[in-house]
Homo-oligomer: A and B are copies of this chain.
Amino acid sequence: MSEVLELGKKAKKASVKLANISTEIKNRALRAMADALITNTKEIIEINKKDLEEGKKRNFTKALIDRLLLNEARIEDMAKGLREVAFLKDPVGEIIKGWKLPNELEILQVRVPLGVIGIIYEARPNVTVDAAGLCVKSGNAVILRGGSVAINSNLILTNILADAGVKEGLPENSIQSVLTTDRAAVTELMKMHDYVDVLIPRGGASLIQSVIENSTVPVIKTGLGNCHIYVDKLANLSMAEKIVINAKCQRPGVCNAAETLLVHKDVAKIFLPKILKELQERNVEVFGCPVTCSVYPGVNKATEEDWKTEYLDLKMAVKVMESLDEAILHIQKYGTNHSEAIVTEDYSAAKRFTEEVDAAAVYVNASTRFTDGGEYGLGAEVGISTQKLHARGPMGLQALTSTKYVVYGEGQVRS
């Protein structure tokens, strides 16, 4: 039996027990996991150094090395995250609805865990801890597969978490990591629909695309965000300015940051010079349509590629629109159904935009940066789903659950 198949079988077995473990035990396990991280801080940092060296050998960028790095503060943060998850309401066991049929059958729809969750991610060891915590709380067994460079960090984190959990009563193998860095292991994981109930890829576009294309396990697509701000002709322009700057600059490397600014032609002449100047002052490189280029110096000419690009950087595409219709069509064509915003004082324009733009979150007069489980008040965030099946938008613990009908009878048969 291959390693991954064995992990799958063990996880399935663990998931059966985990589904019916008390909230009390799960919370105790989460707190023990947090404590264990703190206790083992030195060892974690020591082992993490191996991965950092490997990352340097592979010429990782500074940003990537930074994502890989574990230090005291970060380990404390991860532990804090686990403790916060312990405070969240347990989604499992909720009776969502219930009713009686004319034949007196009593039907309850009950919330249950998904079962076994596979998480495929890049070289970010903190995901190991986040994902394990969320899966434990929602009663799911988890199989973790992080980027190969982080293998040593991931394995020690998994061992620490799993041991601490088992001591508090979690079933063996509730939390497992794939040991090998062999790519074939990922391919195998993606085909194990008999043992894995859902795969969640967390990372860049190419990782997610590869999982979608190769997985026979149901997938939740997360986090690709080519987000737009459309400044309508009846926009409050000073409000528009604040929203654009916030959506682009407050944290450019995340999926809910804005990538393209669309401006109605009637306000282009007033609004563009101001906003382009502000962007320039914040070191944002702008790629503009011909009109944008003519209005303001120092704007690069945008190509078709720019409308499609999720820069995740201090770069922004800017295009002047003939009408609201053109803006909606542009977003339909180039958007990734993540977060889209209109700035307008026009009631009908706002209504049309919210109805016709197809995205996980549509904003009127607010920054796209709000698309986030924490901001929405959902507690911990599993990710932001950009697909329509199962969950859409910021996913809280509930997104890691399914339902079951429980039907109580007194001998009823169907006629």
Contact = CB atoms under 8 A, between A and B. Distances in A.
Contact of A198 (B216, B389, B409, B413): B389
Counting chain B CB atoms within 10 Å of each CB, which of A354, A403, A409 scores highest? A409
Given A365-B411, A388-B115, A101 B377 contact: yes
Contacts of A114: 388-389
B359 A413 contact: no
A404 B361 contact: yes
A22 to B, nearest CB: 12
Contacts of A412: 365-367, 370
Count of this chain's copies in the oligomeric assembly: 2
A20 B357 CA distance: 11
A228 interface: no
A413 B216 contact: no
A239 interface: yes
Interface in A275-333: 332
Contact of A389 (B101, B390, B407): B390
A405 interface: yes
The SS class assigned to the A binding surface is: mixed
A377 B197 contact: no
A274 interface: no
A182 B243 CA distance: 51
Contacts of A354: 406
Interface in A363-388: 363-367, 369-371, 375-377, 387-388
A360 interface: yes
A403 to B, nearest CB: 5
B212 A366 contact: no
A36 interface: no
A356 interface: yes
B218 A218 contact: yes
Given A107-B376, A243-B413, A414-B246, A402 B408 contact: no
Nearest to A376: B107
B239 A212 contact: no
B16 A362 contact: no
Contact of A375 (B101, B193, B362, B367): B101
- State the 5 A-B residue pairs at the shortest beta-carbon distance, nearest first: A366-B409, A246-B413, A388-B402, A369-B414, A239-B411
16 contacts: A19-B356, A19-B358, A101-B375, A115-B358, A197-B387, A198-B389, A213-B216, A239-B411, A250-B413, A354-B406, A360-B404, A365-B409, A366-B410, A367-B413, A388-B402, A393-B405
